[in-house]
Chains A and B, each alone.
Chain A
Amino acid sequence: MSHRKGLEVSLGISEAIKACDVDVISAYPITPQTHIVEKLSEIVAEGELDAEFIMVESEHSAMAACCGAAAAGARTFTSTASQGLQLMSEIVYIASSMRLPIVMAVANRSLSGPLSIWGDHLDVMANRDSGWIKYFVENGQAAHDHMFMAYRVAENPKVLLPVMVNLDGFQLTHVIEPIELIEAEELGDFIPPFIPQIQLNPLEPVTMGPAGTPAMFTEGKKAQEAALRDSRPVIDEAWEEFGKRFGRNYKAVETYYTDDAEVIILGMGGLTGTAKSAVRSMRADGRKVGMINLRLFRPFPDEDLHKVLSGVKVVAVCDRAMSYGGPGGPVASELKTSFYGHPDAPYIASFILGLAGRDVRTGDFEHVARRAEELADIGDPAPYELIGLRE
């Protein structure tokens, strides 16, 4: 039976990987991801999971080894963060173009320089167009649960794409939370055995990852993009089935007090927990404020967002990443693009906060909600506003 216990979120991820009966793990240590792979090393060393653990000499090799193992037909896992994700970035793009269903937990951390080990979303946003399915989780339970979701979706023959589960470095990875662990025997057929469609196997030789001429490249990219878009029904179906079996319900766009809201705060990951508290206290003051937790970043859930946000006065998008010289925070600019030309588009205000682990408090969200309304009235003085900046 499922049992709830107090557990560091990183270890909750390792336990999920064990339950998923992963075949090959390939990883390189980087803060704040280390506890995930330390625990997995221990699990493999104790014989609790029959897997090959390749402790590679860099993240670049970690992803390359995952590609080789997945191409051989193995269920693969890796985990990284920050500079590690940047170093492996070349291969991150290749993994999705080769349609290899690798699962990776990213303990989101800032990018140098200056060097910072603390959390934000700069790392994942630098990999925005890498063609992976991208979840953002908000707490330890969601982190644990989404490892199962990730394999079910990635290995579905209609999808065959790698999946990235993003969780905030330190603010999630290193906190102890009550987590209801799903054990292998409870998993049943929620994750069917991985049956590769194409496999490196001497009995049926294939050529994988060939060179592509201009005559073929565009068609290949179209097929890849279509696969990512078409993964959405499978992603939804996985959440639905998970809800039925395990009683926890997830969706791409989680709403909180949005029905009559005039101002909606939108964020991804752990900060949405703090935003919820802020919404509750603003509601107590009679302010019509709601919140959206955007759990799926790729494929981008346009329609779901349109459904909730059409006709709403103001959306305050809270990004934990910057786009230097660009049109605002990355999520804000995507939302603006998504709503461009839409007759009932809300006013979209871009706020950037929580860079490199800078504290984000309920008061910050109260400020964001107020300021977003002001901006809607006075118009944009700047592409974005930084919250908590010392002048």
Chain B
Amino acid sequence: MDLNVYAARMLPEAEYFAPGHRACLGCGHGISVRLVMKALGPRTIVSNATGCLEIVSSTYPQTAWKVPWIHVAFETAASVASGVEAGVKVLQRKGRYPEKERVTVLAIAGDGGTADIGMQGLSGALERAHDFIYVCLDNEAYMNTGIQRSSSTPYGSWTTTSPSGAKSIGQKTWKKNMPAIAAAHGIPYVATATPAYPFDMVEKLRKAKEVEGPAYVHVFSPCPTGWRLDPSMTVQIARLAVQTAAFPLYEIEDGRMKVTVKPSKLRPLVEYFKPQRRFSHLSEKDVKAIQKRVRAEYKKLLAREKEGF
């Protein structure tokens, strides 16, 4: 094994998201945020939306954050980050900010705080071109309040407010394409990532940090509690999501699409669905139909990459 290949990708030993927080067993957020923070480093200010991450990491008088961190409300991760970025910028310009080096501003929110209630604030902040990174931790439903559907919940998934039943397949709508919406703002960097591919994820966050202007990183973060999944399978299920193309990994750098992880052969979607009881009500026919759509979407990504835009 050539260690030099990995040396460049080594992560710092330092932890900026401390252990001992209150996340559920197998929570994808804990793994994701630990990696995000290792990639971004100590000169980072975090603006956190209300949600799972905020609750498990901040409950007074304890904190898991070794970097400056602020929480205001559910829908305000991006708008608060706008203010932090503007504040640091003007104070550095006027020579009144203690930190003289470039500071990374990170807004972080769940899929509800991003694709639903926080969408307007996020769109505004992207359009205004603040120099910040937005990370959406997508666990595909409102998990903090007890597994209610969001616009990021995948088609066919059971949640408490999209229950499967005699007259319901579960979630009736297709997952909102948040990265595409972010990219439509013409921002310099958009990527999808998941902690099952840690090098890919860290590299993307490092790029997001280097970029001047807004960067959007959509992180697929499994929730064993809400997905009715064995908590030891968090990383495995995230890998299966990529290998079945349920959640493809790509980046859009200055408008150019690149699929960063390309499985040589896509695995059948049922392998990803099977361990999760949120999909257990789906018939073989349902899964086939969903797989058809999933693969069509993946093909579109590959085609776009090939066309070079």
Residues of A within 8 A of B (CB): 23-24, 26, 50-52, 54-58, 60-61, 64-74, 76, 90-91, 94, 98, 193, 199-213, 216
CA distance A212 to B34 in the complex (A): 23
Taking CB atoms, residues of chain B closer than 8 Å to A76 are 83, 87
CB-nearest residue of chain A to B66: A205
A73-B70 in contact given A56-B82, A68-B82, A207-B58 (Cβ < 8 Å): no
Binds A, one of B96-104, B153-161, B192-200, B266-274: B96-104
A61 touches B45 (CB 8 A): no
A23-B127 in contact given A61-B121, A65-B79, A68-B81 (Cβ < 8 Å): no
CB-nearest residue of chain B to A73: B91
CA distance A76 to B87 in the complex (A): 9
B72 touches A91 (CB 8 A): yes
Query: Would you give the 0/1 interface string for B61-90, flagging 1 where the beta carbon is closer than 8 Å to chain A?
Result: 101011111111101100111111111111
A213-B60 in contact given A58-B120, A72-B87 (Cβ < 8 Å): yes
A68-B79 in contact given A73-B97, A213-B59 (Cβ < 8 Å): yes
Taking CB atoms, residues of chain B closer than 8 Å to A193 are 96
CB-nearest residue of chain A to B104: A202
Among B61, B63, B73, B86, the residue within 8 A (CB) of A90 is B73
CA distance A200 to B98 in the complex (A): 10
Residues of B within 8 A of A (CB): 42-45, 47, 54-55, 58-61, 63, 65-73, 75-76, 79-91, 93-94, 96-99, 103, 120-121, 123-125, 127-128
Taking CB atoms, residues of chain A closer than 8 Å to B79 are 56, 60-61, 64-65, 68
Q: How far is the CB of A212 from chain B (nearest CB, A)?
A: 5
Taking CB atoms, residues of chain A closer than 8 Å to B89 are 52
CA distance A296 to B44 in the complex (A): 40
A52 touches B68 (CB 8 A): no
Q: How far is the CB of B172 from chain A (nearest CB, A)?
A: 29
A24 touches B86 (CB 8 A): yes
Taking CB atoms, residues of chain A closer than 8 Å to B43 are 202
A57 touches B65 (CB 8 A): no
Among B44, B70, B94, B98, the residue within 8 A (CB) of A68 is B70
A202 touches B99 (CB 8 A): yes
B59 touches A72 (CB 8 A): no
B83 touches A210 (CB 8 A): no
Q: How far is the CB of A272 from chain B (nearest CB, A)?
A: 35
CA distance A327 to B304 in the complex (A): 65
A209 touches B68 (CB 8 A): no
B65 touches A205 (CB 8 A): yes
Among B68, B73, B86, the residue within 8 A (CB) of A69 is B86
A68-B84 in contact given A50-B93, A207-B65 (Cβ < 8 Å): yes
A202 touches B68 (CB 8 A): yes
Taking CB atoms, residues of chain A closer than 8 Å to B86 are 24, 26, 52, 54, 65, 68-69, 74
Taking CB atoms, residues of chain A closer than 8 Å to B61 are 216
Taking CB atoms, residues of chain B closer than 8 Å to A54 are 82-83, 86, 128
A24-B94 in contact given A71-B70, A94-B73, A210-B63 (Cβ < 8 Å): no
Query: Can you pick out 5 interface pairs between chain A and chain B where the beta carbons lie within 8 Å of each other?
Result: A23-B91, A54-B128, A66-B83, A201-B99, A205-B66
B69 touches A207 (CB 8 A): yes
A51-B90 in contact given A56-B82, A61-B76 (Cβ < 8 Å): yes
Taking CB atoms, residues of chain A closer than 8 Å to B127 are 57
A211 touches B97 (CB 8 A): no
CA distance A50 to B87 in the complex (A): 12
CA distance A66 to B84 in the complex (A): 8
A74 touches B124 (CB 8 A): no
CA distance A94 to B61 in the complex (A): 18
CA distance A274 to B4 in the complex (A): 82
A211-B60 in contact given A57-B123, A98-B72, A202-B67 (Cβ < 8 Å): yes
A72 touches B128 (CB 8 A): no
Taking CB atoms, residues of chain B closer than 8 Å to A72 are 45, 83-84, 87-88, 91, 97
Taking CB atoms, residues of chain B closer than 8 Å to A204 are 68, 98
B70 touches A64 (CB 8 A): no
Among A58, A202, A203, A210, the residue within 8 A (CB) of B58 is A210
A57-B72 in contact given A51-B90, A67-B80, A200-B45 (Cβ < 8 Å): no
B73 touches A55 (CB 8 A): no
Among A50, A203, A205, the residue within 8 A (CB) of B90 is A50
CA distance A201 to B44 in the complex (A): 9
Q: How far is the CB of B244 from chain A (nearest CB, A)?
A: 36
CA distance A61 to B70 in the complex (A): 15
CA distance A348 to B81 in the complex (A): 48
Taking CB atoms, residues of chain B closer than 8 Å to A26 are 82-83, 86
Taking CB atoms, residues of chain B closer than 8 Å to A202 are 42-45, 67-68, 99, 103
CA distance A35 to B22 in the complex (A): 48
Taking CB atoms, residues of chain A closer than 8 Å to B72 are 64, 67-68, 91, 94, 98, 209
Q: How far is the CB of A289 from chain B (nearest CB, A)?
A: 48
CB-nearest residue of chain A to B86: A52
Q: How far is the CB of B37 from chain A (nearest CB, A)?
A: 12
Supply 13 further A-B pairs (C-beta < 8 A) apart from A51-B90, A61-B82: A23-B90, A52-B87, A64-B79, A65-B80, A66-B83, A69-B86, A74-B86, A94-B72, A199-B98, A202-B68, A205-B68, A210-B63, A216-B60
Q: How far is the CB of B150 from chain A (nearest CB, A)?
A: 19
A205-B67 in contact given A60-B75, A71-B84, A74-B91 (Cβ < 8 Å): yes
Among B63, B65, B67, B80, the residue within 8 A (CB) of A64 is B80
Q: How far is the CB of B48 from chain A (nearest CB, A)?
A: 8
A23-B87 in contact given A56-B79, A57-B123, A201-B99 (Cβ < 8 Å): yes
Taking CB atoms, residues of chain A closer than 8 Å to B73 are 64, 90-91, 94
Q: How far is the CB of A224 from chain B (nearest CB, A)?
A: 14
Taking CB atoms, residues of chain B closer than 8 Å to A61 are 76, 79, 82, 120-121, 124-125
CA distance A138 to B60 in the complex (A): 43
CA distance A17 to B74 in the complex (A): 30
Q: How far is the CB of A130 from chain B (nearest CB, A)?
A: 14
CA distance A61 to B107 in the complex (A): 14
